[in-house]
Amino acid sequence: MKITVIGTGYVGLVTGTCLAETGNEVICVDIDAQKVEKMKEGIVPIYEPHLDVLFHRNIKANRLQFTTSFSEGLDHGEIIFLALPTPEGEDGSADLSYVLGVAQSIGKEISEYKVIVDKSTVPVGTADKVRETIKKYTTVDFDVVSNPEFLREGFAVDDFLKPERIVIGSSSEKAIELMQKLYKPFVRSGNPIIVMDEKSAELTKYAANSFLATKITFMNEIANFCEKVGADVDKVRIGMGTDSRIGKRFLFPGIGYGGSCFPKDVKALYKAGKEANYNFSILDSVIRVNDVQKTILIPKIEDHFKGKIAGKTIAVWGLAFKPETDDIREAPALYVIDELLKKGASIQAFDPEAMPNVQRRYGDTIQFASNMYEALNKADALVISTEWSIFRNPDFIKIKEKLNNAVIFDGRNLYDINDIEKEKIKYVSIGRKQ
Ligand code: UGA
pLDDT at 421: 86
pLDDT at 433: 78
pLDDT at 350 over 90: yes
Residue type, 400: K
Distance of CA 28 to the CA centre of its chain: 21
Distance of CA 58 to the CA centre of its chain: 25
Among 87-101, 214-228, 263-277, 288-302, the least confident range: 87-101
pLDDT at 31 over 80: yes
Distance of CA 401 to the CA centre of its chain: 36
Q: Residue 90: which pLDDT band, with cuts at 50, 70 and 90?
A: confident
Instruction: Give the number of other CB atoms < 10 A from CB of residue 390.
Output: 15
The CATH H-level superfamily of 297-428 is NAD(P)-binding Rossmann-like Domain (3.40.50.720)
Correct CATH for 2-196 of 3.40.50.720, 3.40.50.300, 3.30.420.40, 1.10.645.10: 3.40.50.720
Q: What is the mean pLDDT of the chain?
A: 96
Encode pLDDT of 294-342 as tens digits: 999 999 999 999 999 999 999 999 999 999 999 999 999 999 999 999 9
Is any ligand 1 atom within 6 A of the Cβ of residue 387? no
pLDDT at 92: 74
Catalytic residue among 18, 28, 226, 261: 261
> Running DSSP on this structure, what letter comes out for residue 166?
E
pLDDT at 30: 97
Q: Residue 13: which pLDDT band, with cuts at 50, 70 and 90?
A: very high
Look at residue 30 and give its three-state secondary structure.
coil
Q: Residue 261: which pLDDT band, with cuts at 50, 70 and 90?
A: very high
Is any ligand 1 atom within 6 A of the Cβ of residue 328? no
Encode pLDDT of 141-161 as tens digits: 999 999 999 999 889 999 999
Q: Is 154 exposed, middle or buried (0-12, 13-18, 19+ CB in 10 A)?
A: middle
Q: For residue 156, which atom of ligand 1 is closest to its CA?
A: 15
State the complex-level ipTM: 0.96
Domain at 205-293: CATH architecture: Orthogonal Bundle (1.10)
Ligand 1 atom 20: residue of nearest CA? 152
Distance from Cα 340 to the centre of ligand 1, integer Å? 25
Nearest to 126 by CA among 148, 150, 151, 152: 148
pLDDT at 263: 96
Q: Residue 93: which pLDDT band, with cuts at 50, 70 and 90?
A: confident
Domains 2-196 and 297-428 share a fold: yes
What are the angstrom distances between the C-alpha of 109 and each of 105, 178, 216, 250?
Answer: 6, 22, 45, 44
Distance from Cα 389 to the centre of ligand 1, integer Å? 17
Q: How far is Cα 160 from Cα 12, in angstroms, rounded to an integer? A: 11
Is the overall model pTM greater than 0.90, yes or no? yes
Q: For residue 250, which atom of ligand 1 is closest to its CA?
A: 36
Q: How many residues does the chain have?
A: 434
Nearest to 374 by CA among 360, 355, 361: 355
Ligand 1 atom 5: residue of nearest CA? 150
Distance from Cα 12 to the centre of ligand 1, integer Å? 18
Mean pLDDT of 383-400: 96
Work out the percent of the chain whose per-residue pLDDT is above 90. 94
Query: Is residue 309 a contact partner of residue 345, using CB atoms and an 8 Å limit?
Result: yes
Look at residue 145 and give its three-state secondary structure.
strand
pLDDT at 91: 82
pLDDT at 363: 92
Nearest to 89 by CA among 122, 116, 63: 122
Residue 186's φ and ψ, nearest 5 degrees, are -90, -10
Is any ligand 1 atom within 6 A of the Cβ of residue 323? no
Is any ligand 1 atom within 6 A of the Cβ of residue 216? yes
Encode pLDDT of 175-206 as tens digits: 999 999 999 999 988 999 999 999 999 999 99
User: Any idea where the domains of the chain sit in the sequence?
Assistant: 2-196, 205-293, 297-428
Ligand 1 atom 11: residue of nearest CA? 261
Nearest to 241 by CA among 222, 258, 267: 222
**Substitution candidate for ligand 1 out of 153, 251, 294 with most atoms within 8 A of CB:** 153
Ligand 1 atom 27: residue of nearest CA? 257
pLDDT at 94: 81
pLDDT at 354: 96
261 part of the active site: yes
